[in-house]
Amino acid sequence: MQILIATKNKGKVSEFQSMFNQYGIEVISLLDMENIPDVEETGDTFEENAILKAETICNKLNIPVISDDSGLEIDALDGRPGVYSARYAGSHKNDEDNMNKVLNELEGIPNQKRTARFICALAFARPGKDTFVVKGLCEGEILHDRRGTEGFGYDPIFFLPKLNRSMAELTKEEKNKISHRANALIKLQDFFNEEDML
Ligand code: ITT
């Protein structure tokens, strides 16, 4: 069985590949396809954007699709970057620029006020059926400097107090046990099981 993940983010694809591997499910993504334009993320919430991405690609290709809208919510920044996580430093900037912007904005903020969470909304859209959406969280704190080289996005500045490591200091297998994406996927699996999909 194959599942299409409606994303062009290599980091997400790699995590979904290892998470679905255990079920013998092959993950394909928009990186494997040509001529699929980006879906504009106009929603105000992660759920809205995930539904938008999944339904747009499902309607276009007429096959079941899972999409992932995710990001980082920082309490001291009133929840920013939130749904703007991918383009926080500007639409042509990269992960390094985004992390620099966050670190600059948090300069002088003490550890106990640097609480944050990763959020992941997964939407599952199927032709002719209602779309199902779930949300997973992962709580942590924003570091003062980068630590680690694994993962992607904001992982090097996201600290997990219970593990005493940054997200980028975890192996992919370790991250996939505790991440916002893993927590959302567990909820989606419950749905799959109920619907006898796996
Ligand atoms: P698609 O829309 O094609 O899926 P994207 O990168 O634009 O790719 P999002 O709009 O969902 O995806 O933005 C998510 C951003 O949040 C992403 O670019 C990362 O910077 C950050 N992010 C999400 N999950 C993350 C994770 O597990 N670790 C670190 N950063 C993450």
Question: Among 172, 142, 164, which residue's Cα sits nearest to residue 154?
Answer: 142
Instruction: Read off the pLDDT of residues 2-43 as tens digits, 9 standing for 90 and up.
Output: 889 999 999 999 999 998 888 888 999 999 998 888 899 999
Structural domain including 23 reads: 2-194
What is the C-alpha to C-alpha distance for residues 149 and 18, in angstroms, rounded to an integer? 18
Active site residue 130: no
Q: Is 155 within any annotated ligand binding site?
A: yes
CB 30 within 8 A of CB 36: yes
CB 144 within 8 A of CB 136: no
Q: Is 9 within any annotated ligand binding site?
A: yes
Q: What six digits make up the tokens of 134?
A: 């779930």
Gap from CA of 107 to ligand 1 centroid (Å): 23
Exposure letters 92-103 (e unless 16+ CB within 10 A, then b): eeebeebbebbe
Check residue 25 and report its DSSP letter. P
3-state DSSP of 59-105: HHHCCCEEEEEEEEEEHHHCCCEHHHHHHCCCCCCCHHHHHHHHHHH
At residue 114, what are phi and psi to the nearest 5 degrees? Answer: -105, 25
Bridge partner list, 2: 26
Gap from CA of 198 to ligand 1 centroid (Å): 26
Residue 196 has pLDDT above 60, yes or no: no
- Tell me the average pLDDT of the chain: 94
pLDDT number for residue 160: 98
Average pLDDT in the 171-179 region? Answer: 96
Indicate the number of domains in the chain: 1
Parallel, antiparallel or unpaired: strands 26-29 and 2-5: parallel
Q: Which position has the higher pLDDT, 56 or 3?
A: 56
What is the C-alpha to C-alpha distance for residues 161 and 141, in angstroms, rounded to an integer? 8
| Cβ of 12 below 6 Å from ligand 1 | yes
Residue 184 has pLDDT above 50, yes or no: yes
Burial of 126 (0-12, 13-18, 19+ CB in 10 A): middle
CATH of the domain at 105: 3.90.950.10
Under the banding of pLDDT at 50, 70 and 90, the label for residue 198 is very low
Instruction: Read off the pLDDT of residues 90-143 as tens digits, 9 standing for 90 and up.
Output: 988 899 999 999 999 999 999 999 999 999 999 999 999 999 999 999 999 999
Average pLDDT in the 174-190 region? Answer: 94
Instruction: Read off the pLDDT of residues 75-94 as tens digits, 9 standing for 90 and up.
Output: 999 999 999 999 999 988 89
pLDDT number for residue 4: 95
Average pLDDT in the 43-60 region? Answer: 97
Q: Which position has the higher pLDDT, 72 or 3?
A: 72
CB 9 within 8 A of CB 152: yes
